Amino acid sequence: MRFVLGVLLTVSVFAQDPQFTKDDKLLKPENYREWIYLSTGLGMVYGPARESSASQNPPFENVFVNPKAYKAFLATGKWPNGTTFVLEIRASASQGSINKGGHFQQERLRYEVEVKDPRFPDNWAFFGFGESDASAQAIPKTAGCQACHSKNGAVENTFVQFYPTLLPVAKAKGTLKPQPE
């Protein structure tokens, strides 16, 4: 029993596929900082609920994807089931140590996760995590993130147009959706 528990723990902490509770809550992806980095935005303005870039220190947003999905994307230009994106939101600062201008990253404020899994309507679901959350329920399909990703994502529900190392792959594989102007 002790052995089985040990194995389960090992798998649940380090598994690359998203882990769910019985009622389909997503468990916090603990080790996403060791996944594949895709890109960073600073104060991007692309939706109504976002912080304005007019702020002196707008947030940074770092995007990571699980290595298994990344490798599949390089090979096919498509996302497999189990694809997990993490959007990590961090505070920014301008003055610190020897730095006198521009922006560098500070503490994590929160993170949001997007998962491709057939248990969800349209296969894609979104989850928001605060610092103390161990799991999160899918954000209702009516929320803005669903509608915007579905309408504007360059490949399926994902913003490959903002990931400079993946965009050429999608172009080469012919998996880009027609873009709205």
| Parallel, antiparallel or unpaired: strands 60-65 and 36-42 | antiparallel
Of the candidate spans 44-52, 76-84, 118-126, 135-143, the one that interacts with a second copy by CB under 8 A turns out to be 44-52
Among 60, 111, 124, 127, binds a second copy (CB under 8 A): 60
The answer to whether 148 contacts a second copy (rule: CB under 8 A) is yes
Nearer to a second copy, 96 or 118 (CB): 96
| By the rule CB under 8 A, 33 interacts with a second copy | yes
- Least distance CB 24 / a second copy (angstroms): 25
- Cβ neighbours for 23, distance < 8 A, ≥ 6 positions apart: none
Beta-bridged to residue 20, according to DSSP, are 26
CB of 146 to a second copy, least distance (A): 15
- Tell me how far apart the alpha carbons of residues 170 and 34 are, in angstroms, rounded to a whole number: 24
Task: Pick between residue 98 and residue 118 the one whose CB is nearest to a second copy.
Answer: 98
Asked if residues 82 and 69 have their Cβ atoms less than 8 Å apart, the reply is yes
Torsion over CA: 10, 39, 99, 109 (sign): negative
Measured from the CB atom, is 25 or 40 closer to a second copy? 40
122 binds a second copy (CB under 8 A): no
Does residue number 107 form part of the binding site for a second copy (CB under 8 A)?
Answer: yes
CB 27 within 8 A of CB 135: yes
Q: Which one, of 150, 152, 133, lies nearest residue 141 by Cα?
A: 150
- Classified as helix, coil or strand, 40 is strand
Task: Kindly list the residues in this chain that would bind a second copy in the complex (CB under 8 A).
Answer: 1-3, 6-7, 10-11, 13-14, 16, 31, 33-34, 36-37, 39-46, 52-54, 58, 60, 62, 64, 67, 90, 96-108, 148, 152, 154, 159, 161-162, 164-165, 179-180
